[in-house]
Structure 1
Amino acid sequence: MKLLSVNLGRPKAVPYTDNPEGVTGIDKRPVEGPVRAAAPGPKGVGGSGLAGDAVCKREHHGGDEQAVYAVAREDLDAWERELGRQLPNGTFGENLTTEGIDVSGALIGERWRIGSEVVLEVSSGRIPCVTFQGHMGERQWVRRFTRSGGSGAYLRVIEPGEIRAGDPVEIVHRPDHDVTAALLFRAVTTERVLLPRLLAAGDALHSEVRAWALKYVEEQGA
């Protein structure tokens, strides 16, 4: 298991984003050399967990619970075959492109050590948006991505430090539940009946997702 690339984005003006400022950082490209990872602060205030990476719409992106986004190279390869075009590392707006890890199958609260310093913790799956669809330029992309169930994973920065392409990735903690990033993704998009199952992830669950799950349980019990 290893890190194939670290991908950073700069603010870019595009016609397809729903950001009122008209810019997005979704167009991420691999960079050479070490990149510092650190907890960026609360959502709405904190940006990316990686130094030099732009988060342009902090209302919905960035912050401690969505500090870093990871996608498996294996998933990009599968989409290449389906779409019939090349998808370089960073195409999905991911900060980390990995090899040998079932990213969408990672457990909420699972911790990865990357290199010798950094520890990240899985917090949720990625929910696709109109900016993602515009960036990909594919018809009904949000629907297709959602139907695939391969959400990738957002991660918190637990131990800061530097990472770089080629670093080994080690799973150093796997919690005792079955709530994966993919299961969470299904629960918050297409199968709301799964929301109560997410609560088994405890404090590692993304705070907004926990609120949605608790609200669902309350409504069903009313």
Structure 2
Amino acid sequence: MTILTSITALYTGRPQARWEGKPPSAIGKTPVAGPLMLGFEGLEGDEQADRTVHGGPEKALHHYPADHYAAWAEVWPEHAATFVAGGFGENVSTTGVTEADLCLGDRLRLGEALVEICQGRQPCWKLSAHTGIGEMAVRLQKSGRTGWYYRVIEPGRVAAGDAVALAERRHPDWPLSRIIAARFDPRLDPATAAAIAALPELSQSWRKSFLKKTDPAFAEDTSARLSGT
């Protein structure tokens, strides 16, 4: 195994009513030193408000590189206090490893647990509401700096300070940055979409999305997800 970095912090949260007239959310998370048990559906003490789109075995853990926050603070310096580790509702924060350094299907050892990268984050309106920046979800999607989700292969205890080690790389030709860019490309080549959909480690929800993109006539409507209307 190759040690890539270490866990700076872990974050968990519970659903709260945050915005009048809107459903509750668990995007507001707090740091937990651990160790915490990481099971097949996530960290102990972490919950999701809407299980139809958040959580579950293929979104058990969200990892966001703290490396990206400086760039966001340059765009919106008036919101600099928001752009700190944990600010986007992630479960895992690190520095030194981003979407460009990892590939779909990579298996990583986080403390005692073994996890597998299965998709990027698909931001929604709750991120905009959480940060107080109306275009945050749209800008995050366009940037490709979305972070990623893990499925858990082997449960185990995880704590801040634990090493993040690459245990296995199955698809070196499919860096996560390429997969994420393809997911949100409205003009994606159908052949590329088909190739990505065939990757066995891809989450089922993203597989369905890429299969739709194999149809040249398909046009995705993301307005409800990004705006919440």
Q: Is the 8 A contact 1:70 1:103 kept in 2?
A: no
- Counterpart of 2:188 in structure 1 is 193
Which residue pairs with 2:141 in the alignment? 146
2:14 paired residue among 5, 10, 14: 10
Per the alignment, do residues 183 and 53 of structure 1 end up closer, same or farther by CA in structure 2, a change over 3 Å counting? same
- Is residue 2:71 matched to residue 1:75? no
Contact 1:16 1:135 in 2 (8 A): no
Q: How far, CA to CA, are the matches of 2:175 and 2:156 in structure 1?
A: 26
SS in 1 for 2:43: coil
Match of 1:88 among 80, 84, 89: 84
Q: Does residue 112 of structure 1 match 2:108?
A: yes
C-alpha distance in 1, partners of 2:74/2:36?
A: 31
The alpha-carbon deviation at position 185 of structure 1 amounts to 2.4
Q: 2:59 aligns with which of 54, 66, 90?
A: 66
Amino acid at match of 1:148: S
**Measured at CA, do residues 147 and 220 of structure 1 come closer, stay the same or move farther in structure 2, by a change above 3 Å?**
closer
Q: Secondary structure at the match of 1:182?
A: helix
Is the contact between residue 104 and residue 171 of structure 2 (CA under 8 Å) also seen in structure 1? no
Amino acid at match of 1:92: F
Question: Which TM-score applies when normalising by structure 1?
Answer: 0.85
Identity in percent: 31
Shift of 1:75: 1.0
Cα drift, residue 16 of structure 1 = 6.4
In the TM superposition, residue 184 of structure 1 has moved relative to its aligned partner by 2.6
**Would the alpha carbon gap of residues 183 and 122 (structure 1) be closer, same or farther in structure 2, given more than 3 Å must change?**
same
Q: Are 1:69 and 1:96, in contact at CA under 8 Å, matched by a contact in 2? A: yes
Report matched runs for 1:1-222 at 5 Å: 1-15=5-19, 18=22, 22-40=23-41, 49-84=42-77, 85-86=80-81, 87-103=83-99, 105-115=101-111, 117-194=112-189, 195-199=193-197, 202-217=199-214, 219-220=215-216
Q: Give CA deviations for 1:155-194 in whole Å, capped at 9, x if unaligned.
A: 1111111111111111111113422333232223234515
Amino acid at match of 2:194: P
Q: Secondary structure at the match of 2:133?
A: coil
Q: Which consecutive unaligned segments of at least 5 residues does structure 2 have?
A: 218-229
| RMSD after superposition | 2.1
Q: By how many angstroms is 1:119 displaced?
A: 0.9
Change (3 A) 1:16 1:2: farther
The offset of 1:105, in angstroms, is: 4.4
1:20-75 superposed Cα distances (whole Å, 9 cap, x missing partner): xx2110001111221110102xxxxxxxx111011110010111111000011111
Structure 1 runs of 4+ with >3 Å offset? none
Q: What 5-or-longer segments of structure 1 have no aligned partner? A: 41-48
One-letter code of the match for 2:197?
L
CA contact (8 A) 1:112 1:173 kept: yes
